[in-house]
């Protein structure tokens, strides 16, 4: 993407006072952030809430973004931190069974498409493995960028990626999913 459609350029224009570009900037940020939030939170409403918190925080603190660097890792860092905070809050709350949040999966217990099976397997990963896997494979961030976002050494990121892949392969094999 180039020109006005580029998120980096949209951010610069917002910082320069172009209020007309703010709506476009927010929409593009939502498109980028929501998949990560959904992957990490595993519940649509929670992901929507965290996405909104992320966008508000990003717009409020846009002036702190280093314009010499890409904006996507900065934005994804905010999203990852908001997700971790929300997960910590969720884990401290008592469990209420009456109205559980809507899960990401479509609710089918039978074996679905390969994509659905992979998603179910990803959902079984512990939070740090799932976040690392998603940032690397879905958001296509580098190991160094993930290291910076998650505040862990690059070696830890590599270990988590390796373990996540191994667990996913074992889970998919256990479920009878094969690559034909």
Select from 134, 127, 133 the least CA-distant residue to 158: 133
Domain ranges of the chain: 1-104, 106-180
DSSP structure string for 42-100: -BHHHHHHHHHHHHHHHHHTGGGS-TTS-HHHHHHHHHHHHHHHHHHHHHHSPP--SSP
* Tens digit of each residue's pLDDT, the chain (180 residues): 444 458 889 999 998 888 888 889 999 999 999 998 988 888 889 999 999 999 999 999 999 999 998 899 899 989 988 988 888 887 775 544 444 444 444 444 445 677 778 888 888 888 888 888 888 888 788 899 888 888 889 999 999 999 999 998 888 888 787 665
pTM higher than 0.85: no
Look at residue 107 in the predicted model and tell me its pLDDT.
42
The Cα–Cα gap between 10 and 173 comes to 44
Task: Indicate the CATH number of 1-104 among 3.40.50.170, 1.10.3720.10, 3.90.1150.10, 1.10.1740.10.
Answer: 1.10.1740.10
Select from 79, 78, 59, 82 the least CA-distant residue to 11: 59
| Residues 98, 33 contacting (CB under 8 angstroms) | no
Look at residue 4 in the predicted model and tell me its pLDDT.
45
Look at residue 111 in the predicted model and tell me its pLDDT.
52
Select from 179, 162, 60 the least CA-distant residue to 113: 179
Tell the CATH topology of 106-180. Answer: Arc Repressor Mutant, subunit A (1.10.10)
DSSP helix, strand, coil percent of the chain (3-state; round to 5) = 70, 0, 30
Look at residue 138 in the predicted model and tell me its pLDDT.
81
């Amino acid at each position: 993407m180039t020109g006005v459609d580029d998120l980096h350029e949209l951010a610069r224009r917002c910082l320069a006072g172009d209020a007309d570009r703010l709506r476009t900037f927010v929409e593009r940020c939502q498109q980028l952030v929501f998949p990560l939030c959904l992957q990490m939170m595993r519940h649509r409403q929670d992901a929507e809430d965290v996405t909104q918190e992320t966008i508000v925080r990003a717009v409020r603190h846009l002036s702190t973004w280093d314009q010499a660097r890409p904006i996507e890792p900065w934005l994804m860092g905010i999203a990852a931190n908001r997700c971790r905070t929300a997960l910590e809050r969720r884990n401290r709350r008592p469990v209420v069974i009456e109205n559980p949040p809507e899960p990401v999966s479509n609710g089918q217990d039978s074996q679905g498409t390969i994509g659905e099976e992979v998603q179910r397997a990803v959902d079984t990963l512990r939070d740090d493995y799932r976040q690392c896997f998603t940032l690397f494979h879905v958001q296509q961030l580098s190991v160094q960028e993930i290291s910076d976002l998650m505040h862990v050494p690059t070696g830890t990121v590599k270990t988590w990626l390796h373990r996540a892949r191994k667990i996913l392969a074992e889970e998919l094999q256990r479920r009878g999913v094969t690559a034909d």
